[in-house]
Amino acid sequence: MSPNVQLSNRDNSNSFYSEFDLKKKIGEGSFSEVWLCVQRSNGREYAAKMLKKNYGYTVDADTWNAVAEVNVSNSLEKHPFLLMLKSAYHEKENGKIILISELMKKSLYDIIENGECPLSEYRIKTYMYQILEGLRYLHENGFIHRDIKPENILLRSQDKILKIGDFGTTCHAINDLQYLEYVATRWYRSPECLLTRGWYNSKMDIWATGCVLYEIATGYPLFDGRDESDQIEKVDQVLGSPDQRLTKKFKKHKSDVFIERYEMNKQNERTAGVGLHSVYQPYRPAYELIKDMIVYDPSKRFSANRLLRKPYFYEIKNTEYEYKMREFEKLLSNKSIVNLSKIDQKSKTTISRQYSIIKKQGPDGDHIHNLETHSINAEIFDRLSADISKKIDQPPKLDKKKSNLHNILRSKTNKKISITIPESENICHGIQRQNTHNICSKDNTKDISLSKKMLTESVSTLSKVKNVGNKFVNRPPFK
């Protein structure tokens, strides 16, 4: 896939500051600041994310690819529910990288802080649909977001359309690979992130989404631990302590939280848990979703694709949200067809320059023939046929010991002769397998001439010898 992000290593005369005007800071995190900026050429507003790390005077392709936001935007198509980058700049003076994206003026965090929660059931449904569709596309393409929280769910169009943003901690999902231990924000961190040293997968995003669902449906966080130990304690109070099988699974890659909870404090009894249905009752919005998202064991936690197939989302059909996904899937399909046509064209060019291998079934099993060899055999057969045609008027006497081209059957009741005539294609196949059967040897040339004569006279002969004693004579295979 060609890069989707315009990368710029420009001098001071043509830099980010020459194209954009900074207006105000609209957000700040541990590794970056987000500013509202205006493009001078058209007056449009954008969000400029300035990374705090100093990348030096020059930035090569590997450095650009190491920036998670750039990597994700270049690896994926522009999804309707993912906030992709528009361009990226490197300022040589201070070594900073600046990432430009669409401006989203509000997030779910702002809605929660403004006291708008709990949201209506339909609004929760549309938000969950968009979040899960974005995560499904990420996960199917091998990415884990690792920081799903209300602050990173951004809103526009009168808070109807949302996009998942901030791919600063996003990584590729690789089996049996240990990731960073502390990534997701504590309140939205899954049990496997708390109890292991970085042994998790894309299901951690599903847990975090379940926590976000609870928060916009109630206005309060589900697990608001003061630290990692308190966080896992609150999880156990609701879901109960993990069973022995799951505990052994976590123990293989145990974290400091696991050691403190299950090894150092052995007097700590296992908690039964009150159950999710006690803190989020089944009559509440999207209960059938959250019960399969807030699950202790990640292997039993539903994937985004599986959650989207639930009847809960039937109401989304034929809405603007589904139309957006239809258009996106149509775009992906068209690009796939174009890519396949290019691959097919290259394949045809390659095949035309190479010898094709064909496979034929014979009496001795499968034989692989090269088309070049096949064409040579055809020329030999043509020359032999020409020679045989000259001598066909003087056929040699049939040697029963050497001939393998016919079988003479004499009936006990009468003196009619039944001649089994081999098929012409069997003769050709026999000639092609000359190394195995020596059909084209001097001894067998006589047999071929006889067979050709019999072929020319087969019409009149077959009508007389087709049946012997009212039984059909099966032709034996050519050997």
**Residues at the annotated binding site for ATP?**
49
CA distances from 383 to 374, 395, 401 (A): 15, 18, 27
Return all residues near 215 (Cβ < 8 A) that are at least 6 apart: 108, 112, 117, 150, 221, 222
Sequential DSSP letters for 423-465: -HHHHHHHHHTHHHH-TTSHHHHHHHHHHHHHHHTHHHHHHHH
Q: Map tokens 């504590």 to a residue.
A: 186
Q: To which H or E segment does residue 322 belong?
A: helix 320-353
d(CA 8, CA 18): 13
Active site annotation includes 147: yes
Q: Residues 222, 279: contact at Cβ < 8 Å?
A: yes
Strands 20-28 and 6-10: unpaired
In DSSP terms, 34 is beta-bridged to 27, 49
Burial class (CB in 10 A: 0-12, 13-18, 19+), 294: buried
Among the listed residues 110, 147, 344, 393, the single catalytic one is 147
d(CA 350, CA 348): 5
d(CA 148, CA 203): 11
Binding residues: 49
- Catalytic residue numbers read 147
